């Protein structure tokens, strides 16, 4: 003897499935790359501000080397993240809503432009040495006389990048609150239907 499903319960099942299909889905590696990028951006911003406040000396030189090394790591990470994101979307392992695509696009552009301006500045200045005995390849002629302009542009755009990060966080928080409100309203709508719905049995012959 089978128990038929009431129309209201069937609608809830279909609605829940549609909601799950519309949610964002990010692979674990994408989340890891996202938070690694966020940490490196924060380290770069703090070290950049500190070394400018300190001025000259051993501590400033150490922060300068840390800043350049971290910037090189961030640049490589962003390139890898962009390649992975394209591959993940092509293979269907990534579903994303389009509410903040414009902010994401500008963020990625800033994450490429800001390190490259710094890279060009240290190439012109002749200070391409990194930690662990590594050295950046030159992407700008050394001694060309534009190091100050390049590094100032690098610094100002870094503040713009931080503003974009704050905007990105605001969008993410708004999206989180909206999803939470949607879950609460669906739970409230589901309660009366659970109380009023009862299984219907076929009549006895």
Tell me if 121 is assigned to some domain: yes
What's the number of domains the chain is made of?
A: 1
Q: Which residues, including other chains, have CB under 8 Å from residue 30's CB and lie 6 or more apart?
A: 84, 85, 88, 94
Tell me if 43 is assigned to some domain: yes
Tell me if 200 is assigned to some domain: no
Q: Which domain does 117 fall in, by range?
A: 27-180
Is the overall model pTM greater than 0.85, yes or no? no
Confidence bin at 195 (pLDDT 50/70/90): very low
Identify the pLDDT of residue 90: 65
Tell me if 176 is assigned to some domain: yes
pLDDT digits (tens, 9 = 90+) for 112-158: 999 999 999 999 999 999 999 999 999 999 999 999 999 999 999 99
Tell me if 19 is assigned to some domain: no
Tell me if 11 is assigned to some domain: no
Tell me if 8 is assigned to some domain: no
Residue 166 pLDDT > 70? yes
Arithmetic mean of pLDDT over the chain? 78
Tell me if 199 is assigned to some domain: no
């Amino acid at each position: 003897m089978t128990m038929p499903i009431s129309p209201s319960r069937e609608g809830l099942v279909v609605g829940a499935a549609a909601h799950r299909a519309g949610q964002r889905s990010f692979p674990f590696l994408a989340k890891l790359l996202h938070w690694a990028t966020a940490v490196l951006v924060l380290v770069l911003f703090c070290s950049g501000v500190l070394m400018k406040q300190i001025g000259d000396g051993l501590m400033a030189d150490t922060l300068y080397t840390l800043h350049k090394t971290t910037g090189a790591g961030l640049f490589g990470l962003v390139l890898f993240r962009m390649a992975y994101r394209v591959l993940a979307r092509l293979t269907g392992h990534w579903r994303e809503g389009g509410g903040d695509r414009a902010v994401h696009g500008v963020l990625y552009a800033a994450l490429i432009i800001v390190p490259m301006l710094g890279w060009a500045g240290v190439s012109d200045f002749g200070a391409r040495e990194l930690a662990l005995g590594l050295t950046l390849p030159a992407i700008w002629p050394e001694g060309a006389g534009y190091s100050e302009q390049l590094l100032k542009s690098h610094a100002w755009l870094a503040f713009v990048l931080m503003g974009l990060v704050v905007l990105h966080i605001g969008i993410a928080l708004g999206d989180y609150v909206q999803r939470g409100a949607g879950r609460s309203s669906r739970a409230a709508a589901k309660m009366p239907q659970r109380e009023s719905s009862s299984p219907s049995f076929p009549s006895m012959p």
